[in-house]
């Protein structure tokens, strides 16, 4: 990982199921059905009313949102062990985001009922959940504010830094971003357009800050990227 661990990094890895007894772990294991998922699979759609939450064990999932005007925005990308869709077990409303598999993986789901049974046995679980929700809110709020007030170049640079936390692979002095994202994906991540992303990426490439390696991006001058993101 290229940068020092941030508060966010620690919090992201905060496990709501830590400090549990073996029996409790077994119970959770029994309740949460695991299944493999394939790229492109939609776990839930905006508007869905499924009452469950998801635990990603392996793979990559993106959380997207479609505005009434047809703009798609990627709110977050999860990889490795992480938890998402938690709103489903706590809120009565319908989902206002979709979750789509970006890279094959494994997920567990837990229904609202099972979660509530669990909460009875493990008090304090809800509080942990609220912390995760609070963190989510903080993250998304800050992301959207960045999108509002910063240029495309700055937004892209920041996106690289975020992705490096999860997908960095050292590559002669720099870091390869081991996640396949199209220019359209980047555009949806930073609320811009495909064309502008293409142009900006090539500009940064010409300036020597990054390079293309097949379908992957290589960050060659991390410090310069960092100062762009500021």
Partner DNA sequence: TCTTTACTGTAATGGACATTACATTCAAAT
Partner DNA sequence: ATTTGAATGTAATGTCCATTACAGTAAAGA
Which tokens is 122 given?
A: 């493990």
CB atoms within 10 A of CB 121: 12
68 binding DNA? (CB under 7 A): no
217 binding DNA? (CB under 7 A): no
153 binding DNA? (CB under 7 A): yes
Nearer to DNA, 12 or 155 (CB): 155
Minimum distance from CB of 171 to a copy of itself (Å)? 30
- Region of 64 (left: φ > 0; alpha: ψ -120 to 50; beta: rest) is beta
Nearer to DNA, 24 or 154 (CB): 154
Residue with tokens 């002669």: 172
Rounded CA gap, 194 and 201, in Å? 11
Q: Are 153 and 200 in contact (CB under 8 A)?
A: yes
User: Which of DNA, a copy of itself, none has residue 5 at its interface (CB below 5 to 8 Å by kind)?
Assistant: none
Q: Interface with a copy of itself by CB under 8 A: which residues?
A: 7, 65, 67, 69, 71, 73, 75, 87, 90-93, 96, 126-127, 129-131, 133-138, 140-142, 144-145, 147-150, 191
61: buried, middle or exposed (CB in 10 Å: 19+, 13-18, 0-12)? buried
Of the candidate residues 134, 182, 207, 227, the single one contacting DNA (CB under 7 A): 182
For DNA, how many residues bind (rule: CB under 7 A)? 20
Rounded CA gap, 181 and 132, in Å? 26
Rounded CA gap, 118 and 167, in Å? 33
What character string, x for contact with DNA (CB under 7 A) and - otherwise, covers 197-216? -xx-xx---------x-xx-
Binding interface with DNA (CB under 7 A):
150-153, 182-184, 191-196, 198-199, 201-202, 212, 214-215
């Amino acid at each position: 990982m290229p940068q020092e661990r941030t508060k966010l990094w620690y919090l992201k890895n905060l496990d709501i199921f830590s400090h549990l007894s073996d029996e409790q772990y077994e119970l959770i294991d029994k309740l949460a059905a695991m299944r493999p998922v394939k790229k492109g699979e939609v776990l839930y759609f905006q508007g869905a009313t499924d009452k469950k939450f998801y635990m990603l064990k392996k793979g990559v999932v993106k959380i997207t949102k479609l505005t009434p005007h047809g703009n798609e925005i990627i709110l977050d990308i999860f990889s490795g062990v992480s938890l998402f869709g938690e709103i489903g077990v706590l809120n009565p409303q319908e989902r206002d985001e979709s979750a789509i598999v970006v890279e094959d993986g494994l997920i567990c789901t837990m229904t609202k009922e099972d979660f509530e049974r669990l909460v009875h046995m493990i008090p304090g679980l809800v509080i942990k959940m609220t912390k995760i929700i609070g963190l989510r809110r903080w993250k998304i709020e800050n992301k959207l504010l960045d999108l509002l007030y910063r240029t495309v170049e700055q937004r892209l640079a920041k996106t690289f830094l975020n992705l490096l936390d999860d997908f960095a692979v050292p590559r002669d002095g720099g870091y390869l971003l081991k996640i396949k994202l199209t220019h359209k994906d980047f555009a949806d991540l930073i609320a811009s357009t495909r064309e502008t992303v293409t142009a900006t990426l090539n500009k940064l490439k010409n300036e020597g800050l990054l390079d293309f390696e097949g379908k992957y991006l290589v960050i060659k001058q991390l410090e310069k990227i960092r100062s762009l993101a500021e």
